[in-house]
A and B are shown apart, each in its own frame.
Chain A
């Protein structure tokens, strides 16, 4: 049995106060293991992004705990939490958030540079990751010159360049056509996943459900069901 990467217990998050209060996530508990690709799916507004943010050290829950490799991340100081995000988590944001004023390879190098690696060394490592996602020829271009699918792959290269244990994707295929989306997921499953990695993907996109090991269904801030790979 693979070891436990994340254990979330009774997570709850609300926004606003009084009449304006929205319960985005209501008492959610789940676990994720290394070596698996876990999907979180559900209708818009069901609290998926909120949940992802809480388990990745970006948004503080109102109640509940998040243990990552047995450490309670919400007991950490803010600098410690920043280090946690930098070292343990790789993000692929929904709209990539690539830096248009940097070259593609510099974009990929950002987490390495934040980890205080030497600039040239970071670029060297980054270009190896660009090669993994098949974009070594685009290294010196600004990301805006790349197609949507290519930008997605740059975002993935950036997320994995710091060798995080946990990869978090929010709607990775929302702005891609079906073929490109499937190709990216195939790529993730074949080249990015390994026994020491846990990949959590939030998506609406049923075209890529086949790449999941396990799918958690959310609705209205709660988990309403779970299915395993057949």
Chain B
């Protein structure tokens, strides 16, 4: 390490109290920012879990739909029209809706029911027990082995229950994918059983799932669907639409952004203030260095180094702490919705850079203006 920076390093870390205060400030700010944004990212990813789990390339939906669970039924003629669009390999209906399950012990539990196209079973889950064909068996339902399954009393194959006054029996256990937002179990059945067991309107399909012949057909399909008065979205676009809904049209997103901004401001004020005090208390030393012959840019590099070092260390500690908490929360609560994404890390990193930048800017302004004469006069 460059000797001047090494002096800067020693001046910083040997000032234990202030260095600790600085680190705590930045760590805490990063921790809060990462926690808030990770929780939000977790919630967002769950809000579109059905889209991800079904895995269709394209979704046809009513343009007013902005999250999976509140779907607006699509009439059958749309399905037929979509099937005849050039570039569509196949198009199948999907049912997605809520129902009440009455367990053997008489307790009611809300569930999400997904009805798969009877012919293709498109969007079928991966089973860990049982055979997918058994879904055609009388009253057959597949239950997803996720964090919510205990709410159904941990059913096994053969477990019987009542669903909206119809009989149901578990014929398979599916591997958990991304859990949903609302913490309720998911059941799969066939489309026809879903619409006959569960109350539905005149139109029955929640979505039409489309497999295009190739990706180059997508723009054309979209256009043709919009002529029908419906919207065709790729899975990514649908996920984005749902995210945007939660981000901008519910209090959730705004609150998270506010909390992130508050964490940033708290971090900035704690660290900026402490760093400024640190610089003020060391002003005499910077002045002495200047008198002895340190150049302006050398003093600037010392301050940038001190601010940068603290910021990166604080960033690392903050991210580490957040990961630790999220990990241990997930151990205790498998359902805990938080995930650290690169975007979150990036946001926190940029915020930390800004904190370091502003702190060093005010420090540098002070240090550049010191008159070594004042040091000299004592």
The closest CB in chain A to the CB of B373 belongs to A59
- On whether A116 and B295 interact (CB within 8 A), knowing A91-B376, A101-B11, A101-B14, the answer reads no
Q: Is the interface of B mostly helix, strand, loop or mixed?
A: helix
The closest CB in chain A to the CB of B293 belongs to A86
A187 at the interface (CB under 8 A from B): no
B166 at the interface (CB under 8 A from A): no
| B293 A111 Cβ-Cβ under 8 A | yes
Of the stretches A4-12, A26-34, A92-100, A189-197, the one at the interface is A92-100
- On whether A85 and B375 interact (CB within 8 A), knowing A99-B285, A102-B10, A113-B3, the answer reads no
A63 at the interface (CB under 8 A from B): no
Interface residues of B (CB under 8 A from A): 1, 3-4, 6-7, 10-11, 14-15, 284-285, 287-296, 298, 371-373, 375-378
| A97 B293 Cβ-Cβ under 8 A | no
- On whether A82 and B378 interact (CB within 8 A), knowing A110-B289, A114-B289, the answer reads no
> What's the Cα separation between A3 and B304 when bound, in Å?
44
| B11 A102 Cβ-Cβ under 8 A | yes
The minimal Cβ–Cβ distance linking A209 to chain B, given in whole angstroms, is 21
| A82 B293 Cβ-Cβ under 8 A | yes
| A93 B11 Cβ-Cβ under 8 A | no
> What's the Cα separation between A171 and B378 when bound, in Å?
10
- On whether A170 and B378 interact (CB within 8 A), knowing A85-B292, A97-B285, A122-B3, the answer reads yes
Q: Which bucket holds chain A's interface residue count?
A: 20 to 34
The minimal Cβ–Cβ distance linking A152 to chain B, given in whole angstroms, is 13
> What's the Cα separation between A58 and B294 when bound, in Å?
12
- On whether A119 and B293 interact (CB within 8 A), knowing A58-B373, A170-B378, the answer reads no
- Which residues from A are CB-within-8-Å of B4? 113-114
| A101 B15 Cβ-Cβ under 8 A | yes
Q: A52-66 vs B: 1/0 string, CB under 8 Å? A: 110000110000000
A49 at the interface (CB under 8 A from B): yes
| B293 A83 Cβ-Cβ under 8 A | yes
The minimal Cβ–Cβ distance linking A211 to chain B, given in whole angstroms, is 22
| A49 B292 Cβ-Cβ under 8 A | no
- Which residues from B are CB-within-8-Å of A53? 373, 376-377
Partner of A49, one of B15, B291, B294, B377: B377
The closest CB in chain A to the CB of B14 belongs to A101
| B7 A102 Cβ-Cβ under 8 A | yes
- On whether A93 and B288 interact (CB within 8 A), knowing A114-B4, A170-B378, the answer reads yes
- Which residues from A are CB-within-8-Å of B371? 59
The closest CB in chain A to the CB of B372 belongs to A58
Partner of B294, one of A52, A84, A114: A114
| A78 B378 Cβ-Cβ under 8 A | no
- Which residues from A are CB-within-8-Å of B6? 113, 119
- Which residues from B are CB-within-8-Å of A91? 291-292, 376
- On whether A114 and B293 interact (CB within 8 A), knowing A94-B378, A97-B288, A122-B3, the answer reads yes
A118 at the interface (CB under 8 A from B): yes
Name the residue in B6, B284, B377 with the highest tally of chain A Cβ atoms < 10 Å from its Cβ: B377
- Which residues from A are CB-within-8-Å of B10? 101-102, 106
- On whether A58 and B376 interact (CB within 8 A), knowing A97-B285, A113-B7, the answer reads yes
| A110 B292 Cβ-Cβ under 8 A | yes
| B293 A99 Cβ-Cβ under 8 A | no
Partner of B291, one of A58, A78, A106: A58
| A95 B378 Cβ-Cβ under 8 A | yes
| B3 A117 Cβ-Cβ under 8 A | yes
A87 at the interface (CB under 8 A from B): yes
18 contacts between A and B (CB under 8 A): A53-B376, A53-B377, A58-B372, A58-B373, A82-B295, A83-B295, A84-B293, A85-B291, A85-B293, A86-B293, A86-B294, A87-B293, A93-B375, A101-B15, A106-B7, A113-B6, A114-B289, A122-B3
